[in-house]
A and B are shown apart, each in its own frame.
Chain A
Amino acid sequence: MLNYILRRLLILIPILIFISLFIFVIIKLTPGDPALVLLGERATEQALNQTRIKYGLDQPLHIQYFKMMENFFKGDLKSINYKQNVISVIINRLPATLELGAAALVIAIIVSIPAGIISAIKRNSVFDYISMSIALLGISIPVFYTGIILMYIFAVKLNWLPASGYGGHIWTTEGFKYFILPAISLSFVLMASTTRLTRSSILEVIQEDYIRTARAKGVKEKSVILIHAFKNALVPIVTNIGNQVAGIFAGAVLTETVFAWPGVGRLAVNAIFRRDEPLVFGCVIFLSAVYVIVNLIVDLVYTLINPQITYD
């Protein structure tokens, strides 16, 4: 087990090196001049050159890459735009995104797992039909569209919730209000697939022998579903949630833009637009690392719910 975790973390190193090279190439392929974006349209050629020299943009590419890598790992890669350490810029923004993602995840789980279970039990019923349709509609609407509509209804028309922005951590009362709309609109992405997966894996498990045995033994229907079926259906559901982490990040990029949310997704997009090369570099590497680690955790959670899986 420990070996497994270590190996997974070791694999992270070549992956990150590859990613860093890859993103570096993309950054350098991107037309545009970080110095120009920083100084603005009125900048003179002399000022531009000065800035380029300051950020080492005048050096050969391979030296720029190694410099970037070196500084990144030393922890003093500085964002051109924020003039701060890239890592601290990202870490400062991370809670907003992680909390948003977690809130969306929780909403999705709270809604979709019961919905999926009921759909599975009452297969082909009206409830099943409706919840499946809603689930499918959920992933068929662009996430930014749901965001605007929610904002329009709940903030502008009803004036119940703040329209946009970040009001502090989710566990503060003030902050919580700000979380509701973006988290709901982001949770749509997850809800659909989780509901459908819960339904189909419960259905699959129900048909297996040990469930039949349990039923035949006279175990109550409720406990059949909850204890036996659900426990065994959990593995694919957890896998799916793990896979959705990428989806959350992607959705977050759009949701954060709609709700003027100070998260990592928007930071990364703005960094790309502003040609803040070190920050783009840092964001991508950081997000990738988070993704890999979250997936590692998901894999470990498997072992808890399914003792048959071991990683030795």
Chain B
Amino acid sequence: MESKAILEVRDLEVYFPIKKGLLKKKVGEVKAVDGLSFTLKRGETLGLVGESGCGKTTTGKAIVKLIEATGGEIYYDGREILNMSPREFKAIRPKLQMIFQDPFSSLNPRMTVGDIIAEPIKFHRPQENIQELVEHYLELTGLKKEQLSRYPHEFSGGQRQRIGIARALALNPEVIIADEPVSALDVSIQAKIINLMKRLQEELGIAYLFIAHDLSIVKHISDYIAVMYLGNIVELSPAKELYQNPAHPYTKALISSIPIPDPRKKKDEIILKGEIPSPLDAPSGCKFATRCPYATTKCNNQRPKMEVISNNHQVACHHWKKINS
């Protein structure tokens, strides 16, 4: 069953200029996102995983146009949105929503929960019964309507994240960019929120771009997973396939670092040497070369392209065949 792509990102580039000197001349740029492509299908979840600083949040923000992309194309439902006029984009805006990482700063402390959820409705669906809708979304995310007149600081982190989700849902979105929605929460609550998101996906058919910094969280919710390293996707594959047959050495390292609940299983963790290089002076060849145990001179000089391993499984590594043989 092949569903239609709702969001397609092609060669997305986000560069930040570095200005210096007397006249604020541009002397260089930080390539936060450097040619990134993926496709998100209707009603599915794509997990976007990478260490902090790799550009995954930037990608998310560029898609909802919080940050201006310097290059590439983004198609929503077949229509390019990056070059769209603000007026045209206005109609698409509600369809692309976002859930934020920190449930404490994502809600305006001076508004009641009711007002927070009502706000998007007032602007985009003013003709409908706002009160009714607010209560509906509140209940949909597992909150009680008695809590409508309370302020955010009266809630726990998990509850707040539910409010954030309810607010995003209020616009009937097709795609939700979830920017590490659970990483600020306790482990016990993480599962609850993820289950809620899954349930909502089933009920409402929403597609998620689920951004996370480690593979363990996205495992259960994602249909596809993209692994990011320094502004590029290094491996893209269906979730199961990725966990079973990781092709990129970076993916392997990430998977090996997932804590395993079963102590009997043997664990051969690959520990990466060094730190993630600054995006200011990224290596010219394979960006992972500085930390890769398999790196050769080729890796240092030539940037690897995405290669197809099997159906839907792609990797950007010169030596994937050798490594996985």
Contact = CB atoms under 8 A, between A and B. Distances in A.
Interface of A: 3, 6-7, 10
A8 to B, nearest CB: 11
Contacts of B263: none
Contacts of A10: 22
Nearest to A4: B22
A306 B164 CA distance: 41
Interface in B261-278: none
5 contacts: A3-B21, A3-B22, A6-B22, A7-B22, A10-B22
Contacts of A6: 22
A11 to B, nearest CB: 11
Nearest to A6: B22
Contacts, number: 5
B291 to A, nearest CB: 30
Contacts of B22: 3, 6-7, 10
A221 to B, nearest CB: 38
B9 to A, nearest CB: 37
Interface of B: 21-22
A14 to B, nearest CB: 14
A23 B22 CA distance: 29
Nearest to B24: A7
A1 to B, nearest CB: 12
Nearest to A3: B22
A10 B22 CA distance: 9
A50 to B, nearest CB: 50
A10 B21 CA distance: 13
Contacts of B21: 3
B280 to A, nearest CB: 15
A259 B22 CA distance: 45
A55 to B, nearest CB: 40
B64 to A, nearest CB: 34
Nearest to B23: A7
Q: What are the 5 closest A-B residue pairs judged by CB atoms, nearest first?
A: A3-B22, A7-B22, A6-B22, A3-B21, A10-B22
A185 B212 CA distance: 63
A6 to B, nearest CB: 6
A7 B21 CA distance: 9
Contacts of A3: 21-22
A7 B25 CA distance: 13
A255 B115 CA distance: 54
A207 B312 CA distance: 57
A75 to B, nearest CB: 27
A4 B286 CA distance: 38
B28 to A, nearest CB: 15
A279 to B, nearest CB: 35
Nearest to B20: A312
Nearest to A2: B22
A106 B6 CA distance: 70
A11 B55 CA distance: 36
A139 B60 CA distance: 52
A10 B24 CA distance: 13
A296 to B, nearest CB: 15
A3 B22 CA distance: 6
A6 B21 CA distance: 10
A6 B22 CA distance: 7
A173 B76 CA distance: 82
Nearest to A312: B20
A163 to B, nearest CB: 52
A3 B21 CA distance: 7
Nearest to A10: B22
A7 B22 CA distance: 6
A7 B19 CA distance: 14
A13 to B, nearest CB: 13
Nearest to B21: A3
B152 to A, nearest CB: 28
Contacts of A7: 22
